[in-house]
Amino acid sequence: MILGQTTRKNFTQNPKNDILSGLTVALALVPEAVAFAFVAGVDPLIGLYGAFMMGIVTALFGGRPGMISGATGAMAVVMVHLIQKGNEVGLALDSPIENLGLQWLFITLLFVGIIQISAGVFKLGKFVRLIPHPVMMGFVNGLAIVIFLSQLGLFPNAVPKDISILHNTSAWFSSLFSNSIFWKMMAFIGLTMGIMYGLPKLTKKIPAALIAIVVVACITIFGGIEVSTVGSFIKEGGGEGLQGGLPTFQDQIFGLFGTLSGHWDLLLSTAFILAAVGLIESLMTLNLVDEITETRGNGNRECIAQGGANMLNGLFGGMGGCAMIGQSIINVDSGGRGRLSGAVAAIALLCFVLFGAPLIEQIPIAALVGVMFMVVIGTFAWSSFRIIRKIPFSDAIVLIAVSAITVWKDLAIAVIAGVIISALVFAWKNATMIRARKRIQPDGTKTYEIWGPLFFGSVQNFNAKFDPKNDPEHVEIDFIESRVSDHSALEAIFNLVNKYKAEGKSIKLKHLSEDCKILLRKGSPIFDSVIIEAIDDPRYHLAADPEKFTKPLSEYNI
């Protein structure tokens, strides 16, 4: 009942802003979907269908109202090799099959959906909280650069076809300055950005991006000014146009599983990579939109919605995708905060394909590039320049590395690399924090008071604190200021007790947590006489499960 009320509220809280911002996003989705379809090597309609199905499913059922999903470049790049290999196999068959690579992609998306839905069911979406802030800043900076660079390919004749002219700087500048098409496009980009910058200062009741696109389109259409448009962009890429019908059920893919004999490893590896890239980009975008809107989305629900949308793409002939940070920011900045905005964007995109193709094809590319340039300016974390010298050196390295890897490789690799670097730095710092304060009690017992976390990284330093051969007959180890964190720590304690026992000395352990005591006692009965029970024993739990340890600790391979 509560979920239903929340969903209705997300549709009705601000319908005007949601509808207008949804239309703005739909216009921006067209060239993006077409461009990413070309990157993947599929027909533009496949990209548009993919954007529609991703958008409508995640808008209605996703975990982040206001977030936009569609066909993305990060996933398109991963698809290329699979599609090319499938086409090669299809042409080599006794009865050749054209576009077999595309059919393989549809099959792959079914597995992508299963993987992503499983991630949501097993609640893996919560692990996005483990992404450090420097990784987040590096992610948005790198993505802003990628968005900016992707727009440069839309400039007509900015780079001459005769590459030799680039070696002559003066000739290149002369060619550029005489390129009237280029400068017309620059003028309209500037006009678009100017409207988007200035209009919100006058009124925020209408989306500045939508007004900018409409104004520039009217100037070029009614002024008879020849510029690069969405229609010319599609034709230059080899497409025939936007006009198409409704997506159709791809029942033929179920008869093509036999063509995958010997190629299942390629399909499954591609499926896992696509699923990982899609989830990382979606959850990172969800995190970013959470920060902008100061609300909290549901990562696990978003995983399930993304998986369902990708499965639908596989069944009905779309190229799949994930959350789109650029369009999500356009939507949020335009006032689209509810599910209605994403639903309107997806439905409007389909309507463009069905009914409005001739009109949409007349929209100048310059207007859409101008919108994306403003997205770049809004996305880039400019504060990173100010704080780069104030944050720890390791965090600065992570920020720069994630930005660079995002541009050089892709988002998934960048985020994983950033998290790994951050985790290693954290583990190393904590590994050096282990301390042992030593004192002799009046009865001659030597007490080691352990400070700091005891885990796999600090075990070596922990062992170096003790001297079983030269210590007195009675030794006591107090863990009140330490936390025993994992199996490696338990094994270190187990081995230390054995060393003192081998020397014929008495050793006592104090202030261990309950599950730590359970595990040690299950490892060996000698701990019944070694562990001292106290009412102030810590109450935390180890990462290990006591039920999984049925052998002595020393028999486990650490």
Find the CATH number of the domain harbouring 493. Answer: 3.30.750.24
Contacts with 367 (C-beta within 8 Å, 6 or more apart), sequence order: 188, 189, 192, 212, 213, 216, 217
Helix (H, G, I), strand (E, B) or coil at 283: helix
Phi, psi of 542 (to 5 degrees): -75, 160
- Give the per-residue pLDDT at 173: 59
| Residue 173: exposure state from Cβ atoms within 10 A (0-12, 13-18, ≥19) | exposed
What number of H helices and E strands is found in the chain? 23, 7
CA-closest candidate to residue 450, choices 440, 432, 462? 462
Q: Which letter does DSSP use for residue 93 in this model?
A: S
Q: Answer whether residue 303 is part of any domain.
A: yes
| Assigned token pair, 6 | 């929340």
Are the C-beta atoms of 370 and 191 separated by less than 8 Å? Answer: yes
pLDDT reported for residue 29: 86
CA–CA separation, 71 vs 274, rounded Å?
12
Phi, psi of 506 (to 5 degrees): -90, 135
Whether residue 461 is predicted with pLDDT greater than 90 in this model: the reply is: yes
Q: Which two tokens stand for residue 407?
A: 């541009």
Kindly report which listed range (332-346, 385-399, 526-540) carries the lowest average pLDDT score: 526-540
* Burial status of residue 524 (CB atoms within 10 A of its CB: 0-12, 13-18, 19 or more): middle
Residues 79 and 127 in one domain: yes
Angle between helices 411-431 and 393-408 (to 10 degrees): 160
Q: Flag whether 217 is in a domain.
A: no
Return the pLDDT at 399: 94
Structural domain containing residue 99? 2-154+228-366
Strand pairing category for 474-484 and 446-454: parallel
Domain boundary among 415, 430, 445: 430
pLDDT, tens digit, 9 for 90 and up, residues 124-169: 887 777 888 899 889 889 878 887 887 777 776 554 444 454 455 5
Tell me the C-alpha distance between 392 and 409, whole Å: 25
At residue 395 the predicted structure's pLDDT band, cuts being 50, 70 and 90, is: very high
Question: Are 486 and 544 spatial neighbours (Cβ–Cβ below 8 Å)?
Answer: yes
My answer on whether 452 and 462 are in the same domain is yes
Residue 304's pLDDT band, with cuts at 50, 70 and 90, is very high
What tens digit of pLDDT does each residue of 101-133 get? Answer: 999 999 999 999 999 999 999 998 877 778 888
pLDDT of residue 38: 74
Residues 257 and 291 in one domain: yes
Whether residue 543 is predicted with pLDDT greater than 70 in this model: the reply is no
Which has more pLDDT, 48 or 155? 48
Q: Is the domain of 29 the same as that of 48?
A: yes
Helix axes of 180-202 and 208-222: crossing angle, nearest 10 degrees:
140
- DSSP labels, 213-235: HHHHHHHHHHTT----BHHHHHH
Considering its fold, how many domains does the chain have in total?
3
pLDDT at 165: 46
CA separation for the pair 110, 132 (Å, rounded):
32
Closest CA to 24 of 389, 284, 352: 352
Indicate if 34 and 54 belong to the same structural domain.
yes
**Is 419 a domain residue?**
yes
Do residues 245 and 107 both lie within one domain? Answer: yes
**Same domain flag for 235 and 358:** yes
Q: What is the pTM of this model?
A: 0.72
Give the contacts of 525 (CB within 8 A, at least 6 positions apart).
none
User: Would you give the DSSP letter of residue 218?
Assistant: H
Q: How confident is the model at residue 30 (pLDDT cuts 50, 70, 90)?
A: confident
Mean pLDDT of the chain: 86
Sign of CA dihedral 209, 214, 215, 219: positive
**Do 309 and 437 reside in the same domain of the chain?**
no
Type of residue found at 360: I
In a domain, 243, yes or no: yes
Alpha-carbon separation of residue 393 from 134, 390, 462 (angstroms) = 11, 9, 27
436 occurs within a structural domain: yes
419 and 438: one domain?
A: no
Does some domain include residue 528?
yes
Give the pLDDT score at 161.
Answer: 47
Name, in order, each residue with C-beta under 8 angstroms of 269's C-beta and a sequence gap of 6 or more.
none
Residues 24 and 107 in one domain: yes
Assess if residue 289 is contained within a domain.
yes
Say if residue 322 is exposed, middle or buried (CB neighbours under 10 Å; 0-12, 13-18, 19+). buried
Q: Which pLDDT score, from 0 to 100, does residue 1 have?
A: 40
> Among 109-118, 174-183, 226-235, 435-444, where is mean pLDDT lowest?
174-183
Please give the sequence-ordered ranges of beta strands (E in DSSP) within 241-373, or none if there are none.
322-323
Handedness of CA 325, 159, 216, 227 (dihedral sign): negative
Q: Is 297 exposed, middle or buried (0-12, 13-18, 19+ CB in 10 A)?
A: buried
pLDDT confidence of residue 169: 59
* Pair (476, 495) in one structural domain: yes
Phi and psi, residue 144, nearest 5°: -60, -40
Neighbour-count burial of 355, counting CB atoms closer than 10 A to its CB (0-12 exposed, 13-18 middle, 19+ buried): exposed
Give Cβ neighbours of residue 555 (< 8 Å, ≥ 6 apart).
none
- 270 and 125 both lie in a single domain: yes
**Does residue 165 sit within a domain?**
no
Q: How far apart are CA 74 and CA 324, in angstroms?
A: 10
Higher per-residue pLDDT: 156 or 534: 534
- Least confident window among 316-320, 518-522, 544-548: 544-548
Alpha-carbon span 295 to 213, nearest angstrom: 29
pLDDT of residue 330: 87
Instruction: Please give the angle made by the CA atoms of 462, 465 and 471, to the nearest 5 degrees.
Output: 135
Confidence of residue 241 (pLDDT cuts 50, 70, 90): low
The pLDDT of 180-195, averaged and rounded, is 90
Please give the share of the chain, as a percent, with pLDDT higher than 90: 48
Both structure tokens of 175 = 């060619």
Q: What is the DSSP letter of 41?
A: T
